[in-house]
Structure formats: structure tokens, C-alpha cells
Amino acid sequence: MSDHEEPLNLTFLGTTSTGGQCPNAYATDRGTYVIQGYKITDPTALAQLHERGLPEGETAVEIPAGLLKFLPVQGS
């Protein structure tokens, strides 16, 4: 996704945080979503992600399941 040259515009969808800090869900003007969550630093989890093919330049974040309610259901 970083190959796009146009600015990425975000629309806030919702949060499960009481302080509004994290985690948050956003829709983009590209038909994608941006999820703000807790950076995964656990070595075991990172090893599993890399075994599954997580490429350099990408990361993974952990979010509560409750944040998913802010994402629209596709294909329904």
C-alpha cells in the first residue's frame, strides 16, 4: 500500500478506548482501513508472524475484538 503517491485521507470510525488514545479504527479514501493498536513486541508472536511471511516494512498490531464492530460488513 505504501506505493501510492496520493495522500491518504482517514475517516475516524470508532474506538474502544475511554481516553480516545488507542485503539482506533479508520476508513481510508482508498477503500481500505487503518487500525491503530498496540505494537506487537512479543518475540514468540513476532517469530510466528515472520514464519507466516510478514515482510520487512510491515508491522502487526493487536486490537480488542470490540473494535471490529466499527468496521462495515462487506458483501452483506
21-61 pLDDT, tens per residue?
Answer: 779 999 999 999 999 999 999 999 999 999 999 998 889 99
Q: How many domains does the chain have?
A: 1
Domain span including residue 14: 10-70
Give domain status of residue 61, yes or no. Answer: yes
Give domain status of residue 50, yes or no. Answer: yes
pTM for the model: 0.75
CA distances (Å), 19 to each of 8, 23, 55, in order?
25, 10, 32
Q: Give pLDDT, residue 5.
A: 72
Give domain status of residue 4, yes or no. Answer: no
pLDDT: which is higher, 20 or 52: 52
Give domain status of residue 76, yes or no. Answer: no
pLDDT at 18 over 70: yes
